[in-house]
């Protein structure tokens, strides 16, 4: 009888502890402890730095007027962590779109079309009697990109002494003018962290 | 009481002057002490993107952690949701000057409010 009561009590206690351990974080004012790995604040800092640098450089100002069409090329993850590089790229894209200087194509990207629908609607619907052909996209309407954004995220782990290590991350981005192949803007944003040797960054 | 009256008048006058002294940089709010702002430069890129540079110095005797950001507002004074308004961490070196440069999210940003928080 006592055993059942004890089991019930411990279960009730552990579930109460679990519920108390969860809190929702306001990312705009979060002062929580930082991690050895890359967290959302690092992506935010890198994106903020890149966008400010891009806008102040004038590299996204089209001298002919209108918006540049940007394609997202390859962003290489050369770290020991599993990172979705869209966490960085998406923030930059949103800001550039909102700035009114750039529009991003989803028909071309470093890994083929970002949105396959661009081609699907042409290949599958063109000439298909089931669809009103006057509403099917015509040939030659996709807009080719003017500029391309590529980059790399690097990680270096250095031992400081027996107890401490330094983890360095580098967010490197390049904007290329596709007409000339010249890099018209480049940015490197380093994030340096120091932590115990026992911490693991992945 | 009569001898105290001139001092009271002087105290009142000083309090009035103190209240009337305007913040020389109304677009910069500092939370906490230990820093002094001495220059704010507003400018624009050729295509109208606003920039602000805040120059100041730490008056603390040791290094302090701080963070800063610029909140940008559009023509209708609505705050613009943008990643460039996220907080940037920095170390205020003891008795050393600092310069903070912030760029707006586009030509649609018309006004800003810089916040510096000493932790």
What are the pLDDT digits (tens) for A59-107?
999 988 899 999 999 999 999 889 898 889 999 999 999 999 999 999 9
Residue A26: predicted pLDDT: 81
Count: domains in chain B? 1
Domain that holds residue A57: 37-101+143-196
What's the pLDDT at A29?
Answer: 74
State the Cα–Cα distance between residues A10 and B118, nearest whole angstrom: 44
Nearest by CB: B105 against A28, A44, A98? A98
Q: Distance between CA A108 and CA A85 in Å, rounded?
A: 17
Give me the mean pLDDT over the B44-64 stretch.
93
Tell me if A6 is assigned to some domain: no
Residue A11 placed within a domain? no
What domain count does chain A have? 1
**Domain residue limits at B107:** 26-118
Residue A144 burial class via C-beta count within 10 angstroms: exposed 0-12, middle 13-18, buried 19 and up: exposed
Comparing alpha-carbon positions, the chain A residue that sits nearest to B51 is A56
Q: What is the mean pLDDT of chain B?
A: 87
Instruction: Tell me whether residue A57 is in a domain.
Output: yes
Inter-residue contact B6 to B93 (CB < 8 Å): no
Picking from A41, A51, A101, the nearest residue to B84 by CB comes out as A51
**pLDDT bracket for residue A16 (50, 70, 90):** low
| Residue A189 falls inside a structural domain | yes
Residue B85 falls within a domain, yes or no? yes
> What CATH number does the domain containing A95 carry?
3.40.50.10610
Percent of chain B with pLDDT over 90: 74
Q: Which residues of B touch A51 (CB under 8 A)?
A: 83-84, 103, 105
Whether A56 and chain B come into contact, CB under 8 Å, resolves to: yes
Residue-wise pLDDT for A35-56, tens only, equals: 888 888 899 999 999 999 999 9
At B98, is the pLDDT very low, low, confident or very high (cuts 50, 70, 90)? Answer: very high
List, in sequence order, every beta strand (DSSP E) within B1-119: 28-31, 35-44, 50-58, 64-73, 88-92, 97-103, 111-118
Give the mean model confidence (pLDDT) for residues B7-20: 58
User: Is the CB of A100 less than 8 angstroms away from the CB of B108?
Assistant: yes
B18 occurs within a structural domain: no
Using the Cβ of A58 and the Cβ atoms of chain B, whether some distance falls under 8 Å is answered with: yes
**Residue A85: inside a domain, yes or no?**
yes
Question: Residue B10: inside a domain, yes or no?
Answer: no
Q: Is the Cβ pair A44, B51 closer than 8 Å?
A: no
The overall average pLDDT reported for chain A is 88
A24, part of any domain: no
Residue A73 counted as domain residue: yes
Q: Does A25 touch chain B (CB under 8 A)?
A: no
pLDDT number for residue B33: 85
Three-point CA angle B91, A198, B90, nearest 5°:
10
Nearest by CB to B84, which of A29, A48, A58? A48
User: Does residue A10 form part of some domain?
Assistant: no
Q: Is B16 part of a structural domain of the chain?
A: no
The model's pLDDT over A148-201, given as tens digits with 9 standing for 90+, comes to 999 999 999 999 998 999 999 999 999 999 999 999 999 999 999 998 887 776
Examine the pLDDT at B15 and tell me if it is beyond 70. Answer: no
Q: Which CATH number goes with the domain that contains B33?
A: 2.60.40.3230
């Amino acid at each position: 009888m006592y055993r059942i009561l004890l089991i019930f009590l411990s279960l009730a206690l552990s579930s109460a502890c679990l519920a108390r351990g969860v809190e929702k974080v306001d990312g705009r004012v979060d002062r929580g402890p930082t991690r050895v790995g890359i967290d959302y604040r690092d992506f935010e800092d890198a994106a903020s730095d890149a966008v400010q640098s891009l806008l102040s450089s004038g590299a996204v100002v089209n001298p002919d007027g209108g918006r540049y069409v940007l394609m997202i090329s390859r962003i290489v993850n050369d770290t020991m962590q599993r990172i979705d590089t869209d966490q960085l790229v998406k923030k930059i894209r949103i800001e550039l779109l909102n700035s009114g200087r750039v529009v991003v194509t989803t028909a071309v990207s470093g890994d083929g079309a970002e949105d396959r629908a661009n081609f699907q609607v042409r290949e599958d619907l063109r000439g298909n009697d089931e669809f009103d052909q006057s509403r099917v996209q015509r040939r030659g309407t996709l807009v080719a990109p003017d500029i391309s954004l590529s980059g790399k995220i690097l990680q270096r782990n250095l031992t400081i002494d027996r107890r401490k290590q330094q983890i360095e991350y580098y967010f490197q981005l390049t904007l290329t003018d596709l007409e000339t192949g010249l890099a018209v803007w480049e940015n490197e944003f380093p994030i340096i962290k120091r932590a115990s040797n026992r911490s693991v960054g992945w | 009481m009569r001898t105290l009256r001139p001092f009271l008048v002087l105290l009142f006058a000083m309090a009035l002057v103190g209240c009337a002294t305007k913040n020389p940089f109304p677009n910069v709010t500092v939370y906490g002490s230990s820093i002094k702002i001495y220059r704010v430069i507003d400018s624009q890129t050729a295509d109208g993107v606003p920039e602000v540079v805040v120059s100041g110095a730490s008056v603390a005797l040791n290094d302090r952690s701080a963070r800063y950001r610029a909140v940008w507002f559009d023509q209708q004074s609505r705050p613009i949701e943008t990643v460039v308004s996220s907080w940037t961490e920095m170390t205020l070196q003891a008795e050393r000057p600092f310069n903070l440069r912030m760029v707006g999210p586009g030509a649609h940003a018309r006004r800003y409010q810089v916040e510096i928080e000493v932790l």
